[in-house]
Amino acid sequence: MLVLNGPNLNLLGEREPEIYGSDTLADVEALCRAACEAAGLTLDFRQSNSEGTLVDWVQEGRRGIAGLVINAAGYTHTSVALRDAMSAVTVPSVEVHISDIHAREEFRHFSYLTDVTDHQVIGHGVGGYVEAIQWVATQQHG
C-alpha cells in the first residue's frame, strides 16, 4: 500500500489544529501501518512538499501494488500534473482529506483528483486514512 502525503502535511499537529487536529504525521503513519497489518498489506508511507516528487511517486506506484492512497493537500486544488499522473494509476486509488474541503473556503471545493481516483474519503479526520486503506483491502480481497 502506497500512502502519499502532499505539502504541509509534515506540519500536522502544529498547523491549524482547530481544522486538522492534534495528531502528527507520525501518528497518521502509525494508524496506517496498523490498518495495513490488519489487512495483510505492507505500507510505504511518504510525504513531500514538492509537486514533482509526488508526481514521480504516483508514477512509480501506478501498478503492481495493492493500492494508492493520496492526500494531495493544497495540490488537490491546483495540480493538473498530479491529476494527469493519477489518471495513469491502474490499482485502486483513494483521495483522502482530513478536513471537509466542501465546507471550507470556496477555492478548496474543487479537486483535480476526484474524477481520476476510485474512491474519496473527505472530512473524517486522520481516521480517513484507515477508511481508505480498508476500502482498498476490500477491492483486493472482495
- For residue 13, give the CATH number of its domain: 3.40.50.9100
Asked if residue 142 has pLDDT above 70, the reply is no
Percent of the chain with pLDDT over 90: 81
Residue 67 · residue 91 · CB < 8 Å: yes
Total count of residues recorded for the chain: 142
Q: What 3-state class would DSSP assign to 2?
A: strand
Grid coordinates representing 64? 503492481
Give the domain range for residue 134.
Answer: 2-141
Q: Annotation-wise, does 10 bind a ligand?
A: no
Supply the pLDDT for residue 127.
97
pLDDT one-digit tens code per residue, 33-83? 999 999 999 999 999 999 999 999 999 999 999 999 999 999 999 999 999
Q: Annotation-wise, does 77 bind a ligand?
A: yes
Is residue 109 flagged as an active site residue?
Answer: no
**97, 112, 119, 129: which one is catalytic?**
97
* Whole-structure pTM value: 0.94
- Report the C-alpha gap between 106 and 92 in whole angstroms: 29
Is residue 97 flagged as an active site residue?
Answer: yes
Q: What's the start-to-end Cα distance of the chain, in Å?
A: 16
Positive or negative: CA dihedral 25, 30, 31, 32: positive
Q: Annotation-wise, does 23 bind a ligand?
A: no
**Number of folded domains in the chain?**
1
Q: How far is CA 66 from the centre of its chain?
A: 14
